[in-house]
Structure 1
Amino acid sequence: MKKKLFWIAVGQFISACAYCQILNANDLVATGIGGLAAVVNRLTGMDVQMLLILMALPIFIWAFFSYNKKQIFYAGFSYLMFTFYVGIVNRYLPALHTDSIAAAVSGGLVGGIAGGIIMKQGVANGPESIVALYLKEKKGISVGTYYLIINTVVICSSIIFGNITMIIYSLICTFIMSAVTDKLIIGFEKYYNVSIMSDQYLEITQFIRDELNRGATFIQGMDTSNVKKKMLIQSVLNQQELIAIRDYVKSLQDDSFICASRSNSIIGRGFDVE
């Protein structure tokens, strides 16, 4: 638990830096309550830290009586760290003013790293996450759909400032942030589910085991062209291993058949994707 809280705190510090020093400093709109607070701040001049607290408080009160207490604890701690760091960063660290493209890219990268660190802990990272999980469990609304709607509304609300360009750059930043977060959670290595139909299944399996150091599974199949029984080999390989097995099967010069599909989540010994 202490390790999880530590990484949440680290992630939220990085997130606060991206929010204050890059996004707000360059008039880009963040997602969620943070983005809404920034929009209200520009309209009214109210303190961003106070706006973050006032906007989240009703959600946490509702969640306390309606949702999982453990998730509320982690979401509350995560959001508290973010709000606390926003005050620290705004007061003591300089804003990083730059052009809109650089701000969108750097804000997306830094914010995505922060999101990946927090999401890898498997907890709700703020009031928006609590609402997303509640709607998924109780109403059947997917988390992705919820975030797409709320983030689009928040970012597009900045149209009241009359700057369409900033909305476009904010959307680019959000896309980059989501992509980086996904990469940190899923991993950068690409893995493939590979199915091989061949008469020489023993030789291919030995190659997979000895040369690639991977396991394989046999499934009995049948070739409908000649109604002949064949053995289907299934294995999970990374990109380099897929190229190696493809070249090996080609060298057999028979009617062996390979089908490979990308796998986004692999859990188990010998794999890094979770």
Structure 2
Amino acid sequence: MLKKIKHYLIIIVGQLISATAFSQILLPNDLIGGGFGGIATVVNKLTGANIQLVLVALCLPVIIWSYFKYNKKLVFYAGFCFAIFTIFIGVVGNFIPEFSTDPIIAAIVAGVFFGVSAGLIIKEGAANGPEAIVGMYLKEKKGITIGTYFTILNFCIISSSLIYGDITCIVYSLICIYIAGKVTDYIILGTRREYCVNIISDNFLEITEYIHKDLKRGVTFIPCVGTYKIRKKMMIKTVVTNPELVALRNYIASLNDSSFVYVTESIEVIGGGFSD
């Protein structure tokens, strides 16, 4: 029960942070955010319509439609996040003052706030608003990746601000979105990176011993055949961190053989001496 309460508290805090960035930082400095909040801001600037009502008009139909099409838990989270965010942007000004300052500082601070918010919510397994569901639909039906969808959506939203603003507004808004993305990655993935290393070498036993004894990492052998000379080989597969990758690469280079090595970055590694 306590775990569930903590889960929802984190989501609520995340939406409070996002609403603060939107209502008390972006709007006072005439900046535009991404997603449906950005669309609502543009509509507000052009027509004077209430931002909360515009958000309801945008999000509610998506939530109702997706309820009959997608996982109910995912839709619930999207609706919950939307409701909390919409409520907070209406009341947050009562207890948090506006942060009206140099636009570049506002863009940086808002970007950090949005990134922390998205990172917290995504780590809890929740959808950060109905626009994510639209992205899922486009990926399923049109083959458009969610990342591409958000890039196009945010580009169109920010570009439309030229109707009432100037190029400076666009540049600062892009800075905000870029920082938000980087901070989100930091919250979710952390600073440490893991790499999957694949090695084909005649000295595979020596390399394996080095990985075991010096790097303290495990190794998997994968039998393979080189098609150039039709020779059977043994491929080494292991996962290492940044400094371990440098050490391993230097060791392989010291062997002066014809080792073939290719490295791919791992998004997440669980177990085996890595993060749980």
Q: What interval of TM-score do these two structures reach, taking the shorter chain for normalisation? A: 0.7 to 0.9
The one-letter code matched in structure 2 to 1:48 is I
Distance 1:130 1:151 in 2: 15
Identify if the C-alpha distance between structure 1 residues 4 and 247 changes in structure 2 by more than 3 Å, giving closer, same or farther: same
Q: 1:112 touches 1:177 (CA, 8 Å); kept in 2?
A: yes
Distance 1:161 1:141 in 2: 30
Deviations 1:41-91 (A, max 9, x none): 233334333332233222223323443322211111111111122122122
Q: 1:194 touches 1:258 (CA, 8 Å); kept in 2?
A: no
Match for residue 261 of structure 2 among 247, 259, 262:
259
Instruction: Kindly report structure 1 stretches of 4+ aligned residues shifted beyond 4 Å.
Output: 221-230
Match for residue 170 of structure 2 among 163, 167, 171:
167
Match for residue 35 of structure 2 among 32, 37, 40:
32
The one-letter code matched in structure 1 to 2:192 is E
Deviations 1:121-147 (A, max 9, x none): 233221211211222234433212221
| More displaced 10-residue stretch of structure 1: 206-215 or 55-64 | 55-64
| More displaced 10-residue stretch of structure 1: 213-222 or 234-243 | 213-222
Matches within 5 A, 1:210-249: 210-221=213-224, 230-249=233-252
Aligned counterpart, 1:195: 198
Identify if the C-alpha distance between structure 1 residues 224 and 78 changes in structure 2 by more than 3 Å, giving closer, same or farther: closer
Deviations 1:162-216 (A, max 9, x none): 4121012112211221222123223321222222333332232122122212111
| Residues 1:126 and 2:119 are matched in the alignment | no
Deviations 1:231-264 (A, max 9, x none): 332211111111222233344x431525242314
Q: 2:222 touches 2:236 (CA, 8 Å); kept in 1?
A: yes
TM-score normalised to the size of structure 1?
0.88
Distance 1:222 1:255 in 2: 18
Distance 2:217 2:260 in 1: 17
| Residues 1:11 and 2:14 are matched in the alignment | yes
Match for residue 57 of structure 2 among 54, 77, 92:
54
| More displaced 10-residue stretch of structure 1: 188-197 or 221-230 | 221-230
Where do 5+ consecutive residues of structure 2 fail to align?
A: none
| More displaced 10-residue stretch of structure 1: 69-78 or 36-45 | 36-45
- How far off is 1:228 after superposition? 6.3
Number of aligned residue pairs: 272
The percent of aligned pairs where both chains have the same amino acid is 47
Q: C-alpha root-mean-square deviation of aligned residues, in Å? A: 2.5
Identify if the C-alpha distance between structure 1 residues 199 and 150 changes in structure 2 by more than 3 Å, giving closer, same or farther: closer
Identify if the C-alpha distance between structure 1 residues 46 and 247 changes in structure 2 by more than 3 Å, giving closer, same or farther: same
Identify if the C-alpha distance between structure 1 residues 134 and 45 changes in structure 2 by more than 3 Å, giving closer, same or farther: same
| More displaced 10-residue stretch of structure 1: 83-92 or 25-34 | 83-92
Where do 5+ consecutive residues of structure 1 fail to align?
A: none
Identify if the C-alpha distance between structure 1 residues 260 and 56 changes in structure 2 by more than 3 Å, giving closer, same or farther: same
Deviations 1:83-113 (A, max 9, x none): 1221221222111112122122222122111
Distance 1:62 1:144 in 2: 22
